[in-house]
Structure 1
């Protein structure tokens, strides 16, 4: 009789440990998905392509910078200011298209994530296609 009680307690602890581990894995998986794979925002940015490069020590990624012009609040009496939009590039074909047209005016579609993955790029902004080149 004492052995049966011991086996039931042991079985109860096993179920408890199983559920705790399952909850931890589900919470951890959901957190990782939300931080690194959930698209927080997407849109289009326009400007002149400053550079498009392939760089990295371990993971070679495509990076770029867009120079946007506009009227800023901190400028003196309506003077033009420039804003920089740094981004990572998802696809090699998009990178080649940008590299061949450096210095031109681009409309780029991008996705914004909450976190950076080293194999995806150095920024939370990832350009997935070129909308227009002028």
Structure 2
């Protein structure tokens, strides 16, 4: 019983804690590629990083990400993955005014959300597999 609680707690901590840096890394990769393409089109050989207006518009994303990863991993751990649909709906409806009509913001939203969800789902499934392997 104690090992079950420890595995579940570790999964939630890893999902919430490590998911942020992983999602940020994926967003940096995506925005770097976007900056390089934009610099080529504009004839700017430096490709110097500039502030990302999409990142500024989607404030609070780090805290939202922690909560969504906890919810997704937790729903998998308790055996109710259908709750993930609620997380997706709440996030989409809550962010709709900010992402509506802005391709840069909506692209950042989609990439960050999918990276975060994939991380949380992977950790949840791995934890369930670890729990299933217990005697």
Q: Tell me which protein shows more helix as a share of its residues.
A: 2
**Which structure is larger by alpha-carbon Rg, 1 or 2?**
1
Relative contact order (C-alpha < 8 Å, sep 6+): which is higher? 2
TM-score, structure 1 length as denominator?
Answer: 0.27
Q: Tell me which protein shows more strand as a share of its residues.
A: 1
TM-score, structure 2 length as denominator?
Answer: 0.27
